[in-house]
Amino acid sequence: MGSTFRQQAAWWMNHSQTRKRKPIKPATAVGYQSYIDKWLNPNVGDMPLWQVDNKAAKTLVSKLAEANLAPKTVIEIVAVVKLVVASATDESGKPIYPREWNHEFIDMPTVKAIEQYTPTVEAEDVSEIISKAQGRHKVLYAVLAGTGMRIGEALAIEIGEPSNERTTISTDCKTISIRRSIWRGRKQNPKTDSAVREIDVPAPLSAMLKDFIGSRTSGFLFQTKTGRPLMPRNVHRDLRKITEKATFHAFRRFRITNLREIGVPEDILRFWVGHADRSITDRYSKMKKRTPLRVGRRSGFARAL
């Protein structure tokens, strides 16, 4: 345990990644560490841990606001402060420095008070992207739009026999079984327990995938010449050459919105996209921006192709 915030933060980062119960994912660790290095250690790192309270948090929030950070980012950074302070416990597991965080006193921003940047795409946009993309990228963008998969899940798809250790696609290309994700070129467990799932593939996409796979019987569905999975940053660079409007999550929002538009039951929808909670799915849906709503129409992906 550390006596300063900096020391405790270092202990907490190591413990969060190595503990047996719900260790954080590598991508999450990278994000936390960036907050600590860039914002927390320079501002509160040398403070004794017992002094990191509402007053210290208020000063920190003021500095983050002066740096023009987005409200959501400020909230995430302060959340790390809370976790670090709470991680200091005695031999009985009780918090050494219990806190009652006062958000009003701290002047914490609220995400709902602003319009978050959550880009999405429509069927016409997807059609244009797919028509302009080349080779494996064309099929990858179709998969993202037609299944709502996260980019790491899509890049983890392998051809071959089903396995609990791999994300695979069925031989008829009608089902994708998600068991792993790709992060920085390496396999890891999916984001959450709910991300372990099977996705029914739309018929037009299934046909496209069968043609794309051809006679291949093994390897990653989307791979480099050396057989490695594609890197998201390289895919993103290709996507940006086609459009500035789309992001990987824009395809995910497109799929969720269209599933709701055609009346897919919510429990099936959440299963397909890997959400445990409807409130999370609600954040992705752009149904309110669709007029008129014609439930029962052809899926947006079918229209996109």
Classify strands 157-159 and 167-169 as parallel, antiparallel or unpaired: parallel
pLDDT of amino acid 13: 97
- What one-letter code names the amino acid at 105? F
Summarize pLDDT for 213-235 with one digit per residue, the tens: 999 999 999 999 999 999 999 99
> Where are the chain's structural domains?
5-113, 123-304
283 or 86, greater pLDDT: 86
Summarize pLDDT for 22-49 with one digit per residue, the tens: 898 888 999 999 999 999 999 999 999 9
Q: What is the mean pLDDT of the chain?
A: 88
pLDDT of amino acid 27: 84
End-to-end CA, the chain: 57
pLDDT of amino acid 25: 86
In CATH, the number for domain 123-304 is 1.10.443.10
Helix (H) or strand (E) holding 197: strand 197-200
pLDDT at 104 over 90: yes
109 or 298, greater pLDDT: 109
Q: How many CB atoms lie within 10 A of CB 250?
A: 22
pLDDT of amino acid 22: 87
**Could you give the 3-state DSSP secondary structure of residue 278?**
helix
- What one-letter code names the amino acid at 100? E
15 or 278, greater pLDDT: 15
pLDDT of amino acid 222: 97
Print burial letters for 26-58: b (CB count within 10 Å at least 16), e (below 16): eeeeeebeebbeebbbebbbeeebeebbeebbe
d(CA 4, CA 39): 15
Percent of the chain at pLDDT above 90?
69
Alpha helices in the chain, H assignment, sequence order? 5-18, 26-35, 41-44, 54-66, 71-86, 103-106, 123-132, 135-147, 151-155, 203-213, 232-242, 248-261, 266-273, 278-284, 300-304
Burial class (CB in 10 A: 0-12, 13-18, 19+), 233: exposed
Cis check for the bond before 292: say yes or no (omega within 30 of 0). yes
14-23, 186-195, 280-289: segment of lowest average pLDDT:
280-289
